Structure formats: C-alpha cells, structure tokens
Amino acid sequence: MTKIVLLGAPIEAGAGRRGCVMGPNAFRTAGLAEELEALGHDVADLGDARPEEVTGIETDHTHLKQLDTVAGWTRALHSQAKKLARCDALPIYLGGDHALSAGTVSGHAALAAQEGRPLFVLWLDAHADFNTFASTQSGNLHGTPLAFVCGLPGFDSYLGGPVPAAVDPANVCILGLRSVDGEERRLLQSTNVIAHDMRAIDEHGIAPLLAEFLDRVQAANGLLHVSLDVDFIEPDIAPAVGTTVPGGATFREAHHVMEMLHDSGLVSSLDLVELNPFLDVKGRTARLMVDLTASLFGRRVLDRVTRSY
C-alpha cells in the first residue's frame, strides 16, 4: 500500500487557450481517487492549491502572457511541494497547464538537495518546454518550466530570485518529443538533457530508452519526479489538449511506460498536466489519464475492465 495525496492546481494562465482550469475536477470526476483506492492505496484529496498574489513584475520581455499569475502559482506550488516532499505520502499534482511544474519540480528539487539526494525528472511530452523568457515565440509560459527548473538564466521573477536548487540537466529525460522551437532546440542541445523524439522510439522502442534512464536513477539513489502531459499521447486517443501534435505514444506504449515506472519503485512525485476537458469527447481523455495513473500504481492488464465510451 502507498499513501497518496492529490493536490489540484487549476492553472490555465500558462496555456494559449482556456479550459485547463477544469482539469483537476475532471480527474476527480473520472474517478482517480477511487481507482487508486481499489488498488489498495490510501488516498487523501487535499483540494486545490491557490496562487500567491503577485503583481507588477517588471520585465523586458513584453510578449510574455500573464507573468504575474504564473509567478503566483509557481511560488505557491513550490512551497506546497516542499511541504509534501517531507511527508510519507506520494503527491500527485492535478493540472492545470504545464506551467505548474515550475513550482512542483523546483519544490521537490529543493527538498531533495536538503536531503543530499539528486532529483531526476522524466518529462513525458510532445514538447521540450525548454524555452526561456527571451526565446519563447508565443509568450505562453507553459513552454518554459523545464528550462526554469534546470537553472537557465532570466527566471528570477518566478520565485523572486534564482531557483534554489536547480535540477542537473543530465538528470532529465524527455520522452516523446515531436515539436521543438528553433531557439529552444539550441538551448536544449547546449545542455546534457536526454531528449528522445518519436523517431528514437520508433527505431529503438520505448522500453530500452526508459530502462536506461531508470537504471541511472537507481544507481544514483535518486528521487524521480514524473511529469505526464496529455500531448505525450497520440491525439486520436487523447484529444483533450490544446497543443495536439500527431504521432504521439500509442495506448500500449503509454501503458508500458507506466508499468515500467511501477516496476522500478522509483517514482516519488507525479504531475498530470494539460488536460482540457472543454476539448474532450465524453471524458475519454480524462479516463485514459486515470487508467495510465492506475498502471503506474500497480494495476495489471488482467485487472482492467473493458469500458464502453
């Protein structure tokens, strides 16, 4: 049995379209807590976090959208994540757009540093989210959290200063890439981030690529934060996301990843992000994300019940 805490983060300020604010309640309605409890886990829902009030951030980058709001969420979630990382329960953060990970990952990294352990990050996403304030073309801040937590410069306004404990880029694995901006690609290639696009998955298979990374986490006695974006998955089966990119992970590839993560026993925290129920079809994407989470927490193929959507 695992103790699990759920914390909603209904942020949509980082995304380019509205709807992610409904994500946390869609996960609840789709039965996330009940599915995990049916597997024998102890689940507590802490409700939704609330952003700190931040106003008047000055920036030279006038194209950035809703910087004050995203900074308020980052500060609140950073504080919450540090507290939850000290507890004996595994936190699941219910998004909300991917900007929330600036707070969750930085909070867990700060606590890991205090404990003298490295934090590793598995980023399951069609996008690298490795833009800086200067490089982002859209100004949508859900494209920046991974660059922030890896300590790239220019993000002081997020926490009112530099990230307190940057994640070593060599401890980050992005899996499922299909869309990377030009300058973002240069930034990514200037670091030691492990980045596997869908061609690498086609050529080598998803299991060997993930297994190599998990072996590194195990060897380093690391903590593992997993950040699962809906757009990691093929949009034909997971349409409820505002940034659809064709050619994503298949149903079986996505479940295989979750099953391998469960078998590893390494996951210490989890983000579920970018679910936009306004774009869903009869709750199909929310149910799939719940099913994937159940696989991460031990549900086997023989445990699954066939559903009619």
Cβ distance 1 to 254 under 8 Å?
Answer: no
User: Among 41, 78, 98, 225, which one carries the catalytic annotation?
Assistant: 98
User: Among 35, 231, 234, 291, which one carries the catalytic annotation?
Assistant: 231
Give the SS3 label for residue 140. coil
Hey, what are 214's tokens? 């998990």
98 is known as an active-site residue: yes
142 is known as an active-site residue: yes
User: Among 41, 78, 108, 127, which one carries the catalytic annotation?
Assistant: 127
Give the bridge partners for 194, in sequence order: 173
127 is known as an active-site residue: yes
User: Among 12, 229, 259, 280, which one carries the catalytic annotation?
Assistant: 229
User: Among 12, 35, 97, 129, which one carries the catalytic annotation?
Assistant: 129
User: Quick one: which of 119, 232, 238 has its CA closest to 175?
Assistant: 232
- Give the whole-angstrom CA distance, residue 209 versus residue 149: 23
Cβ distance 92 to 8 under 8 Å?
Answer: no
88 is known as an active-site residue: no
Give the bridge partners for 172, in sequence order: 121
| H/E element, 252 | helix 251-264
User: Among 181, 274, 280, 291, which one carries the catalytic annotation?
Assistant: 274
Hey, what are 212's tokens? 């190599």
48 is known as an active-site residue: no
User: Among 35, 97, 125, 271, which one carries the catalytic annotation?
Assistant: 125
User: Among 41, 78, 108, 142, which one carries the catalytic annotation?
Assistant: 142
129 is known as an active-site residue: yes
- One-letter amino acid at 120 equals F
| H/E element, 177 | strand 172-177
- What are the residue numbers of the active site? 98, 125, 127, 129, 142, 229, 231, 274
